[in-house]
Amino acid sequence: MPERIKNYINGKWVDAASGKTFKSINPADTREVIGLVPDSDAADVEAAVRAARRAAPTWAKTPPPKRGEILYRAAELLVKRKQALGECVVREMGKVLSEGLGDVQEAIDMTYYMAGEGRRLSGETVPSELPDKDAKSIRVPVGLFALITPWNFPIAIPSWKITPALIAGNTVVFKPAEETPVCATRLVEVFHEAGLPPGVLNMVHGFGETVGEPMARHPVVEAVSFTGSNEVGMKLAGVCAGLGKHYTMETGGKNPIIVMDDANLDLAIEGALWGGFGTTGQRCTAASRLIVHQDIYDRFAERFVEGAKRLKLGDGLERKTQVGPLVSELQYKKVLHYIEVGKKEGAKLALGGGPYRKGLCANGYFVAPTIFMDVSPNMRIAREEIFGPVVSIMRAKDLTEAIDIANDIHFGLSAAIYSRDVNKTAIAERDLDCGLVYINASTIGAEIQLPFGGTKRTGLGPREAGGRGGALDLYTKWKVIYRDFSDRLQKAQID
Ligand code: UN1
């Protein structure tokens, strides 16, 4: 029997007002229904927003270290439940178990990190230009946040948004991806059990048009944080700007690895396999373009294809599996469509090129690891985000050309270079136009203590995750306080 999943409103687990449900299934075997999930609408959004609004004044006045204590307890619970949550990620989203556990670990890291912010949340104190007067800036909550998260990191990415929102004193309405509602529920249970007061965090399950958009448009919602497709992100940014809401949109990537002729080839191949096919290519940070120096191009391509041939596809809970299924029928069809586009564009298909249905994979959304060679930078498969196990290899005559190809697209999330020449890696570090640069490492695996995000159409608004210039820039606003204790009128800029 599938589990009956609920919305979480004002500290209570409730069905959608309409009573309607939809199914969450296992993408490795679509016959397995994991959850029956509330198919919510604007009425449920309204109830969640009301609860969040009622909870806001008390939560905003709760001392941040006390908010932090709740987050510490949540982090401890995540540690205790890591295995179960990791398995839930595998069953509902399809990634392999080691990565499912990594997904949970990233949430643990983030929750501890943001718990610690409860005792920092620092501003500045600076001298005033006048005597007997002081001046400081403090961080205050923004207000009520709508958080809309994707399915590819069903525990980690919600934690990137929920924990900074909470530590900063905001209240939240949260819509998790419709593909991974059970994982989201496990995460919200943790915050509930950690002692979060009712109404501070609310979760409404459902779809973009019926829940996400009404949430973002709701007049009481002051800010929106979205991670997902570029198309939806840009549209939502327009909605937010029009309604005067703060926002962060974290969207696509088309991340390159540059492999120079002096690279450690074994390391570069390993990194390219991990970046290209890890998480079945379903990371914003996935390495979907390999830009290889012409002198090692053939050698690299041959060995890369050999390595990809050996990857084992299957159910992520099987110990030997390295590549799981795509998350849904929609993604499966989209990836297969792009493979056809690549063939038609005249790229050379070196591996894969279609569905993978062998053995136990027959009932899941499996696509064979696919490699296109001799891809030219203007082909669609070299420019558009595919979000699947499809990698394009391109040739470059030198570092300058490689960097030009890397930069000549609308996205700029992460990029990597493999080279043993410190000057070349320094030039790449300087000239790659993106948010994350990796040197002698793949494009995936950002850590939470630094800002996460990219340039160009990859993202709009403040970055996610930790550190200066990270999430707190979205989840707090500055208040500046001048205190005059001179007992006389003092005029700044004049006296
Ligand atoms: C994403 O795919 O949206 O850097 C996030 C990484 C992970 C996060 C990816 N830490 O690959």
pLDDT of residue 53: 98
- Given a contact cutoff of 8 angstroms between Cβ atoms, the answer to whether 463 and 471 are in contact is yes
Residues with CB under 6 A from ligand 1: 106, 152-153, 283-285, 444-446
Mean pLDDT, rounded, for 344-370: 97
- What pTM did the predictor assign? 0.97
- Measured by CA distance, the residue closest to atom 7 of ligand 1 is 445
Residue 131 exposed, middle or buried by CB count within 10 Å (0-12, 13-18, 19+): exposed
- Measured by CA distance, the residue closest to atom 3 of ligand 1 is 284
Q: Known catalytic residues?
A: 250, 284
Q: What's the pLDDT tens digit per position in 10-54?
A: 999 999 999 999 999 999 999 999 999 999 999 999 999 999 999
Mean pLDDT, rounded, for 61-66: 98
- Given a contact cutoff of 8 angstroms between Cβ atoms, the answer to whether 5 and 185 are in contact is yes
Mean pLDDT, rounded, for 338-349: 97
**Sequence-distant (≥ 6) Cβ neighbours of residue 443 within 8 angstroms:** 255, 256, 257, 275, 285, 286, 287, 414, 415, 416, 436
pLDDT of residue 371: 98
**485 C-alpha to ligand 1 centroid (Å):** 50
**Mean per-residue pLDDT over the chain, rounded:** 97
**59 C-alpha to ligand 1 centroid (Å):** 30
* Candidate of 151, 153, 155 to mutate for ligand 1, largest count of ligand atoms within 8 Å of Cβ: 153
Domains and CATH numbers, the chain: 3-251+458-481 (3.40.605.10), 255-439 (3.40.309.10)
381-420 exposure pattern, b = at least 16 Cβ within 10 A, e = fewer: bbebbbbbbbbbbbbbeebebbbebbbebebbbbbbbbbe
- CA dihedral for 395, 399, 402, 404, sign (positive or negative): negative
